[in-house]
Chain A
């Protein structure tokens, strides 16, 4: 399944590049790494439009879970800002 392999390789390259660039930029906040990685995951998943319906369904499920994590981070940040 070359499309699966391409998808996984795209994710590996994107995550590797993002983590390397952020680390080289001296980023110390874990939530920034997490957020940018999730955005990359969602964008790459969206670009693979030719996945079969079953694969699309499970990828969407993983995306929803990750998006939930992203919302939790955003909620914490909002509470942090409002608490100041």
Chain B
């Protein structure tokens, strides 16, 4: 995994170690010596970055992601749940953000109070207010944030960018707009796309799940993925902030 950066770094270091003294002592050229020093700086940087690469291969991560997704999808499919999941902030779910999929179809349900940390949960006063609570990729990723996200669009954008660009390398840029109980997230150059499968229809794609989990945590209100579209290297995610 970290081999290309290490090789590049060693190559640059070797070139710099040879080039800088030759330029300084033999060619007597400050400009070429500066090039040699630049090669040394780049070499050290590449070697340092090589040590920060993940130990687990992308293939192993993919296997684990698919296993979890397929298990959750099997559960949803077996129960015949077609409702869109509601992402809950950690304050409503025993300190850990999760998503609930309501069993009954209809309007967006109102979440009343804290929901217990169980698989089958009751979230309202009505008999049909029962849901399945599941952990999503977004829920897990929130633990990677150094500080909890804030409620403004700028803070949400920074948190989503940090996870998607800096940690997971799943996109090249992210923009977030917040208006009228709606959060619009635009992800440029995404590496995971929406697929028409049961899991994505209910819980959203991993990108949307991450955006929804961060948005609900930042706003401290439940959030539902309203729409998700992918076109010309852009993913657009519309989130509905529930009362």
Residues A50 and B161 in contact, CB atoms below 8 Å apart: yes
- How many of A's residues come within 8 Å of B, CB to CB? 35
Chain B contact residues: helix, strand, loop or mixed = helix
Q: How far is the CB of A69 from chain B (nearest CB, A)?
A: 9
Q: What's the A-B contact tally at a CB cutoff of 8 Å?
A: 83
Contact B49 A58 (CB under 8 A): yes
The reply to whether B166 and A58 form a contact with Cβ atoms under 8 Å apart is no
- Shortest B92–chain A CB gap in Å is 28
**Binary per-residue interface labels of chain A (8-38) against chain B in the complex, 1 for a CB within 8 Å, 0 otherwise:** 1001100110010011000111100110010
Q: Could you tell me if B33 and A30 are in contact, using CB atoms closer than 8 angstroms?
A: yes
Q: How large is the interface on B (under 10, 10 to 19, 20 to 34, 35 or more residues)?
A: 20 to 34
Contact, CB under 8 Å: A27 / B42: no
Checking A7, A33, A51 against B30 with a beta-carbon cut-off of 8 angstroms, the contacting residue is A33
B162 at the A interface (CB under 8 A): yes
CA distance A53 to B35 in the complex (A): 30
* 0/1 interface trace, chain B 142-172, chain A, CB 8 Å (1 if under): 0000100000000000100110011101001
Chain A residues near B165: list those with CB within 8 A. 3, 50
- Establish whether residues B5 and A4, one from each chain, have CB atoms under 8 Å apart when the complex forms: yes
Q: Please list the residues of chain A having a beta carbon within 8 angstroms of any beta carbon in chain B.
A: 1-4, 7-8, 11-12, 15-16, 19, 22-23, 27-30, 33-34, 37, 41, 49-55, 57-59, 61-62, 65-66
